[in-house]
Structure formats: structure tokens, C-alpha cells
Structure 1
């Protein structure tokens, strides 16, 4: 049975046909409203779809899969299932659009990079904000799941924005993500002092420029 996602769209259904799609994936403990504040500062040619994670934590908070926030520990099988479920939804809407781009914050970046690594040919670009990429060596369910060789051959444009002093994401996760990104994607990495575990206005401007250059320029 497919997961029934709650999605906040920036356009009505009649206005979406043929537009580039950007899927917004929020972080742990947030919901589909969390990243909508980015949309006014991003290219308006896109249709934006902000997806609510399926696991309720109560009080309007959701997660993509259960997470031990102290250690950033999680079940590899749960993480893989979350990716598989989200693929079903993406496949159900992607035919209406000229391309698909992912924008993920924190845990949403882990989801975005995992989607990218399973089917890199499906995406025009990916934006990761204050997050990390999943290390497949952390669980047997993820061994052989990602196709990083195919991703390296594609060199998909990837924007990674973060604060060097981010208090949430552990250094070992950052180190792994840095190694992974340098080996597999066409990386644009920008550090934002004072952002903490968040997104600053300058960063939104840089994402706008990135999406315009990497996605829209090729479609005009």
C-alpha cells in the first residue's frame, strides 16, 4: 500500500503541467510548512511541492523515519523503506513536469541524497541544507542499495549549504558527506557563519542562483 503523503503545492494542479518540479523535504520534527518560507526567494518558474514526512511524532511534528537524535542513530531498514515509499510518490507526479529537483533540510537532506543515489538519472539537481548523506556501511539493509558509481558518471549539480559551527550534525557525518560529495556529484559548497542549524537569507539567494544556472538555463 502506497504512503498517502500530505503535500503543500505552490501552484494549483491546472498550472503545473510542463513546469520544473522542486520537491521540498523538511527536517526531523518539522512538517510540510517548514520550508515554504524559502519559496518566495526561489525561481518562480518552478512548481514547489513540500512533502510532509509520514511518521507522526505528535503536536504537528513528523519524521521520515525513527531517529535517535543524541547519536543520529537509525534503523537502516527504516531509512531504506522511507526512500522506497517516497519514490512511489515522486513517480506518481514526475510525468507532469519537465524535470525534478530535490531540496532537503537536515534529515530531509539525508532523504534527498538517498533518492539521488538510487536513481541519479531522475534528477536535474539537488540542494542539501544543514544535513548529511547516509553512510551505507551503517546497516546491512543499505549495502549495495546506492549506485554511487552511476552517480559519479552523471555528475549531478549539488548545492550544499551549512554553518561550520552547526550544533546538530556530528562531525563524523559531515566528514563522510564531504568525502561522498567530492567523489560523486558536481559540488557547490558554501559555508554560512552564524546560520547555526538553519537557513539564512544570503543562502536563499545562492540557491536561487544555483537553480537558475543548473536547471532553468538548460530548459529555456
Structure 2
């Protein structure tokens, strides 16, 4: 089954538009991050994707998060990998269908969507050139056994200092991890919880504009 998505076509006539894919967080849906679309550069083709696992009442997940007395909170990594593969296929389908500029693909994820965005960049090297990871972290259990030396991806990472869902300490490990691999990245924090502050929005917006 392929993933459902909604599209904002470029607002300007452009032959091979740059592509921005949006991946929402756990328990949300494709409308959530799509609210950013109006404010983002006109030349972008923006595609907001709905996660495959239905939680009911308009909420979806990329993979289950389970709770038990022994392990505390843990993720269904098999479902996560299935979602990753589906996202990778969808990116190729969109590139082909809309004849996008294959050198300018951006993947923006929030929370669970950010975790998958990081992972996708390692499982599918250079399928996307730019990752915007908001309120997420690099899940070490969701990485290939060896990481390609050929990755050229750029990373924009940000997190709220009082995030009560994903602790900021988890996010702080992403920069040393990416630095260690020699990958270009910036990491910033904002005085918010599990969400995107207005300053954070303008910051990643200009980061995207610099790369168009």
C-alpha cells in the first residue's frame, strides 16, 4: 500500500521544482505540518505525508510506541523500518511524477517524523540532500550496520529545552554523532516544549532558502 499525501504545488512557474517532504509526529496527520506550507518559499513543491498506522480519530503513527513494566517505553523497529522503506519509495514516485530537481530534495520531520528522517538519510544515502529534524533524535537502533562514507546530506536539527516528550539530552547527541561522521549540521535549542517556536520556524525557513 502506498502512502497517502497532500500537495502544495509551486506558486511560481518552475520546470523542475525543489521538493520538500513533510513527515508528521506520532498521533498526528498530514494536515499538521502542512500549515507551514503557506509561509515557505514559492518555488517549492511541498508534499505532506500521512503515516501508515491508523490510531483512530484522525491520528496516525509511523510505528508503534509500546509501554511495559520491564522495558519502559520502546519502539516497534520492524514497523519503523517498513515505514522508512515506504517513504523512500514515495520520494522516488514524487520526484518522477512532478519532475522535481533531484539535487534539491528536503525532508522535514517532526518528532517521530524527525527520527525517521535521520534514519532514512543513512539507509538511503543521498536520496535527500537536506534534512530538517525538529524535536527528534538519532535512534541508534534504527541505523544500517555500516554507514556509507559517501553521504553528502546537510542537517538542520532543533529541539525545545523543556521538551517533556523527547528529552533534550537525546537530541543533544545528534550533533556529536553527525560531526563524528564529518557531516554538515547545525543544532539549536529553543525555550519551548515539544513543539516549534516561531523563531525556530524562521530559522529553518532561511536555512531552506539558502539551499534553493
TM-score with structure 2 length normalisation?
A: 0.86
* CA distance, structure 1, for counterparts of residue 127 and residue 34 of structure 2: 23
Q: Secondary structure at the match of 2:35?
A: helix
CA distance in 2: counterparts of 1:160 and 1:50, whole angstroms: 19
After TM superposition, give the deviation of residue 172 of structure 1 in Å.
Answer: 5.7
1:68 counterpart SS class? strand
Partner of 1:131: 136
1:115 is the counterpart of 2:131: no
Say if 1:161 and 1:203, in contact at 8 Å, map to a contact too.
yes
After TM superposition, the structure 1 stretch with the greater mean CA deviation from structure 2, 26-35 or 3-12, is: 3-12
SS of alignment partner, residue 6 of structure 2? strand
Report how far residue 61 of structure 1 moved: 0.2
Distance 1:58 1:17 in 2: 39
Match of 2:27 in 1: 29
Q: Cα–Cα, structure 1 residues 27 and 125, in superposed 2: closer, same or farther, change >3 Å?
A: same
Q: CA deviation at 1:23?
A: 0.1
Whether the aligned pair in 2 keeps the contact of 1:41 and 1:205 (CA below 8 Å) is: no
Residue 97 of structure 1 pairs with residue 94 of structure 2: no
Does structure 2 conserve the Cα–Cα contact (< 8 Å) formed by 1:132 and 1:173? yes
Deviation (angstroms), 1:177: 2.6
8 Å CA contact 2:63, 2:77 repeated in 1: no
When structure 1 is superposed on structure 2, of 91-100 and 172-181 the one drifting more is: 172-181
CA separation of 1:203/1:171 partners in 2, compared to 1, >3 Å: closer, same or farther? closer
2:65 corresponding residue in structure 1: 67
* Equivalent-residue separation in structure 2 for 1:17 and 1:6 (angstroms): 24
* TM-score, scaled relative to structure 1: 0.83
RMSD: 2.2
Which structure is higher in strand share?
Answer: 2
- Greater fraction helix: 1
Shift of 1:175: 4.6
The unaligned stretches of length 5 or more in structure 1 are none
Structure 2 Cα separation of the partners of residues 170 and 203 of structure 1: 18
Q: Is the 8 A contact 1:32 1:51 kept in 2?
A: yes
Deviations 1:15-40 (A, max 9, x none): 77510000000000000000012122
1:163, 1:191 within 8 Å by CA — same for their partners in 2? yes
Q: Give the superposition deviation at 1:44.
A: 1.8
Name the SS of the counterpart of 1:103 in structure 2. strand
> Is the 8 Å Cα contact of residues 3 and 86 (structure 2) preserved in structure 1?
no
Structure 2 runs not aligned, ≥5 long: none
User: Equivalent residue for 1:174?
Assistant: 171
